[in-house]
Chain A
Amino acid sequence: MLEIKNLHVQLEDEDKQILKGVNLTVGAGQVHAIMGPNGSGKSTLSYVLSGKSGYEVTDGTAILDDVDLLDLDPEERAAAGLFLAFQYPVEIPGVGNMTFLRTAVNSQRKARGEDEMSAGDFLKFIREKAKSLKIDADMLKRPVNVGFSGGEKKRNEILQMAMLEPKMCILDETDSGLDVDAMKLVAEGVNALRSEGRSFLVITHYQRLLDHIKPDVVHIMADGRIIKSGGPELALEVENNGYADLLAEVA
């Protein structure tokens, strides 16, 4: 599904290397987790995959089902099936959440040569998805993320993911700042989307999210590289001992 090879990234404005050769392959239907200390480059990886400007890829590739992501505009990557649940969802005053979602869904359909969704079908679809995430009508009407609590923003990300039905979902610290109930809701939202044709890359600091979203593989990222990969037990190890031992191992 997603194959990242030898990815090197530096800042565009500054001579600072952030990703120093990331290798990562996520198979179809799999859930991979990435853990790692703050500043190790996890968000940068998710941004570079999604096409945010300000970063320069100096080496390496990222392929999503035969599509070379790094050559595409962000909207083309989205249409190719990539989705990023932002660590810090952006507030957009004046753009209604519902308008935003309908525009997004229909833009992607158009880009893929599919028919746009009718207003009626869209409403039915969004109501059903919103309900399972406990997102009320008011949140759909309000401007995108404006005045949303931290938890509401994260649930709104999952709603977008559910509506857009991507193949490859990246979740960047979707659990941070959530209480246990909100986290369960988010995890249920994610689990409801799990399928053979859909893969997840879950960036998190905490084992507890992984109790709910069971990963197939756990990677540890440090200083711009994946320094260790393993099964779910690796997350437990981090939870119990922190990163110090792992960092020492590779040093």
Chain B
Amino acid sequence: MTVASKIAADPRLDGLTVPAGGWPTTARSSALMRLQTMGLPVKRDEYWRYTDPSALVCEAPLPCDPLQTSTPIFGTIDKTRLVFVDGVFDAEQSDNPDLAGVEITRLSEVNDLDLHWAQGLYGKLEEAGQSPVARPLAALNTAQATEGMLVRVTGKPKKPLHISYRQSSKTSEAILHHVIKVEAGAELTLLETGTPGARSNVVLEVDIADGGTLHHIRPQGRAHGRHVATHLFARVATEATLKSFTMSLNGQLTRNEIVTEIVGDDAAVHVGGACVGDGDAFHHDDTVFITHDAVNCESRQVFKKVLRNGATGVFQGKILVKAGAQKTDGYQISQALLLDGDSQFLAKPELEIYADDVACSHGSTSGAIDEDAMFYLRSRGVPEKEAQNLLVIAFLGEALDEIENEDLAADLQSRLEAWFSRHST
């Protein structure tokens, strides 16, 4: 008897080597070995059942015209900006990175800098997130990335840190790996915006110590042809808070994975997303895995998608409550508004619970616009398109409500409104 296994070497990985450069090399080599065991994802993998990864792993990125941006997002918000162009840090376009309460080191410059805190995390949270489900693109990222920021938050900086991506080349490939360590009691707002490259693979490893807080707000780039894979790996300690929100307008293929492990009591994790997809080339996938391994913690997943003209949305979300994680309060909702019969939403909500004293709920809906509400609005004189936009934005607004900072939320809301007024015919 033979046992089928995936260990067969993936020919696509032949000849892949790891870039040299200081202590991360060890993590890179280990990631490459792990990757060779896993192989790159293929459509028949269970975890890629709803999303074809081909464009994310084919040899060269599919070309994508960079977006000619008009008004930069969060333009009126005071922040410290770190700019990456086609996946490479651009110091000239960036702000001076001396933000009180934060230590920032560029990954490509670590060499043998003694960054103990980062050495213990780099590639480690990614590796921990490979079980129970393999995430080969994240291992690929750890093995290959030479750019990114290592950010240690020791205080409560007055303004957000802004990682701003720009794409200038039609065929650029951006592989970025950031590590954020929020020390005990510290608090950071991290903005991550824009299109990193024609194709991009971004990993964010986040470690939040006791009582620390990270607000992560990520309006993804609006370049139409972009292909993006992101992973957020987070470890959340006692009384710590993680809030991460992603908005996606446009883009061809997006796979956003969020993997968080709650390891300390009384912690909270809120993740959410609003997505607008237009056209049959659009495919957007949120894949979330939240593990509760502590007592009295709360997690929330709120994901909303508006899909039209044949767009596809995917949600795979899981709450795993380990034995002993009593008093867990887990909530998950994924909803799609389908503006026509050609668009589709594929959802796989899951709960796996090994503790008896928990309150967990999940729900998933997909449906058309409420015709009664449409008629009501129109009977008051609101034209059809405008009425539809009002209802669509109201629908997404319930996801935007997850964002605590009202100025940031308002900026995202106005982006949405502008998108819909531009795209109404």
Once the chains are docked, how many angstroms separate the CA of A84 from the CA of B397? 28
Chain A residues in 8 Å Cβ range of B370: 90, 92
Q: Is B354 an interface residue (CB 8 A)?
A: no
Q: Is B390 an interface residue (CB 8 A)?
A: yes
> Considering the complex, which residues of chain B in the window 395-412 have a beta carbon less than 8 Å from any beta carbon of chain A?
395, 397-398
Once the chains are docked, how many angstroms separate the CA of A87 from the CA of B391? 22
Q: Is B52 an interface residue (CB 8 A)?
A: no
* A107 close to B386 (CB less than 8 A): yes
Name the 8 nearest CB pairs between A and B, nearest first.
A94-B394, A78-B381, A108-B381, A104-B380, A74-B378, A90-B376, A107-B381, A95-B394
Q: Is A79 an interface residue (CB 8 A)?
A: yes
Chain B residues in 8 Å Cβ range of A143: 394
Once the chains are docked, how many angstroms separate the CA of A77 from the CA of B381? 8
- A: residues with CB less than 8 A from B are 50-53, 73-75, 77-79, 83-84, 86, 89-95, 99-100, 103-105, 107-108, 111, 143-144, 160, 164
Q: Is B10 an interface residue (CB 8 A)?
A: no
* B386 close to A78 (CB less than 8 A): no
* B376 close to A103 (CB less than 8 A): no
Chain A residues in 8 Å Cβ range of B371: 53
Q: Is B97 an interface residue (CB 8 A)?
A: no
Mask of B362-396 contacts with A, CB within 8 angstroms, 1/0: 00000000111101111111111011001101110
Chain A residues in 8 Å Cβ range of B398: 93-94
* A94 close to B395 (CB less than 8 A): yes
Once the chains are docked, how many angstroms separate the CA of A91 from the CA of B377? 11
* B375 close to A100 (CB less than 8 A): no
Chain A residues in 8 Å Cβ range of B390: 95, 99-100, 103
> Considering the complex, which residues of chain B in the window 307-354 have a beta carbon less than 8 Å from any beta carbon of chain A?
none
Given contacts A90-B372, A90-B373, are A95 and B391 in contact (CB under 8 A)? yes
* 9 A-B residue pairs with CB within 8 Å: A90-B370, A90-B373, A92-B394, A94-B394, A95-B390, A100-B390, A104-B380, A111-B383, A164-B381
* A51 close to B394 (CB less than 8 A): no
Mask of B27-55 contacts with A, CB within 8 angstroms, 1/0: 00000000000000000000000000000
Once the chains are docked, how many angstroms separate the CA of A250 from the CA of B393? 52
Our pick among B375, B376, B387 for the contact of A53 (Cβ within 8 Å) is B375
Given contacts A90-B372, A92-B373, A107-B383, are A75 and B378 in contact (CB under 8 A)? yes
Which of B378, B380, B397 has the most chain A CB within a 10 Å cutoff? B380
Once the chains are docked, how many angstroms separate the CA of A103 from the CA of B375? 15
Which of B379, B390, B393 has the most chain A CB within a 10 Å cutoff? B379
Q: Smallest Cβ distance from B316 to chain A, in angstroms? A: 26
Which of A93, A94, A103, A105 has the most chain B CB within a 10 Å cutoff? A94
Q: Smallest Cβ distance from B370 to chain A, in angstroms? A: 8
Closest partner residue, chain A, to B375 (CB atom): A52
Closest partner residue, chain A, to B395 (CB atom): A94
Chain A residues in 8 Å Cβ range of B375: 50-53, 74, 90
Q: Smallest Cβ distance from A3 to chain B, in angstroms? A: 20
Once the chains are docked, how many angstroms separate the CA of A90 from the CA of B225? 40
Q: Smallest Cβ distance from B376 to chain A, in angstroms? A: 4
Q: Smallest Cβ distance from B336 to chain A, in angstroms? A: 15
* A164 close to B380 (CB less than 8 A): yes
* A78 close to B376 (CB less than 8 A): no
* B376 close to A86 (CB less than 8 A): yes
Given contacts A74-B375, A94-B395, A103-B390, 5 further A-B contacts (CB under 8 A): A73-B378, A74-B378, A94-B397, A107-B382, A164-B380
Once the chains are docked, how many angstroms separate the CA of A144 from the CA of B15? 61
* A103 close to B378 (CB less than 8 A): no
* B397 close to A103 (CB less than 8 A): no
Once the chains are docked, how many angstroms separate the CA of A52 from the CA of B380? 12
Closest partner residue, chain B, to A80 (CB atom): B381
Given contacts A100-B390, A103-B386, are A92 and B376 in contact (CB under 8 A)? yes
Q: Smallest Cβ distance from A94 to chain B, in angstroms? A: 3
* B378 close to A78 (CB less than 8 A): yes
Closest partner residue, chain B, to A145 (CB atom): B376
Our pick among B372, B384, B391 for the contact of A73 (Cβ within 8 Å) is B384
Closest partner residue, chain B, to A50 (CB atom): B379
* B381 close to A104 (CB less than 8 A): yes
Closest partner residue, chain B, to A78 (CB atom): B381
Once the chains are docked, how many angstroms separate the CA of A208 from the CA of B400? 47
Given contacts A53-B371, A75-B378, are A92 and B383 in contact (CB under 8 A)? no
Chain A residues in 8 Å Cβ range of B386: 103, 107
Closest partner residue, chain A, to B393 (CB atom): A94
Chain B residues in 8 Å Cβ range of A100: 377, 380, 390
Closest partner residue, chain B, to A94 (CB atom): B394
